[in-house]
Amino acid sequence: MPAGDALRSAPVTARRGAAKPDLFSDPMPVRIEPCLALLQAKAPAGPDWAFEVKWDGYRLAVHRDAVGVRIITRGGHDWTHRFPSIVAEAAELDAGSFVLDGEAVVLDEAGRGDFGLLQQALGGRGGKRNADRAMLFAFDLLYLDGHDLTRMALVERRHMLEDLLDGESGTIRLSEEVEADGAEFLASACKFGLEGIIAKRRDAPYRPGRGGDWLKIKCIQSDTFLIIGYEPSSAALGGIGRLLLAGHGNYGLTYVGSVGTGFTHTSATALRKQLDRITAGSPPARGLSRKGVVWVKPKLAAEIAYRGWTHDEKLRHASFKGLREKADEANVYRVG
Give residue-wise pLDDT tens across range 230-262.
999 888 878 899 999 999 988 889 999 999 999
For a pLDDT cut of 90, what percent of the chain falls above it? 62
SS (H, E, C) the chain: CCHHHHCCECCCCCCCCCCCCCCCCCCCCCCCCCECCEECCCCCCCCCEEEEECCCCEEEEEEECCCCEEEEECCCCECHHHCHHHHHHHCCCCCCCEEEEEEEECECCCCCECHHHHHHHHCCCCCCCCCCCCEEEEEEEEEECCEECCCCCHHHHHHHHHHHCCCCCCCEEECCCECCCHHHHHHHHHHHCCCEEEEEECCCCCCCECCCCEEEEECCEEEEEEEEEEEECCCCHHHEEEEEEEEEECCEEEEEEEECCCCCHHHHHHHHHHHHCCECCCCCCCCCCCCCCEEECCCCEEEEEECEECCCCCEECCEEEEEECHHHCCCECECC
* Section 84-92 average pLDDT: 95
Q: Is 54 a catalytic residue?
A: yes
Please indicate, yes or no, whether the overall pTM of this predicted structure exceeds 0.75. Answer: no
Mean pLDDT score of the chain: 87
Q: With bands split at pLDDT 50, 70 and 90, how would you rate the model's confidence at 130? A: low
User: Is residue 146 predicted with pLDDT exceeding 90?
Assistant: yes
Q: What is the pLDDT of residue 9?
A: 45
Per-residue pLDDT, 8: 42
CATH 2.40.50.140 in the chain is located at: 221-328
Instruction: Using pLDDT thresholds of 50, 70 and 90, give the confidence band for residue 129.
Output: low
Instruction: Give me the pLDDT at residue 66, please.
Output: 93
Given a cut of 80, is residue 128 above it in pLDDT?
no
15-63 residue pLDDT tens: 444 445 545 688 999 999 999 999 998 999 999 999 999 998 999 999 9
Segment 77-99 mean pLDDT: 94
Considering 54, 200, 218, 321, which one is annotated as catalytic?
Answer: 54
CATH 3.30.470.30 intervals, the chain: 32-218
Residues 167-182, mean pLDDT to the nearest whole number? 87
Fold exhibited by the domain 32-218: D-amino Acid Aminotransferase; Chain A, domain 1 (3.30.470)
The CATH code of domain 221-328 reads 2.40.50.140
Give me the mean pLDDT over the 300-328 stretch: 87
pLDDT at 184 over 70: yes
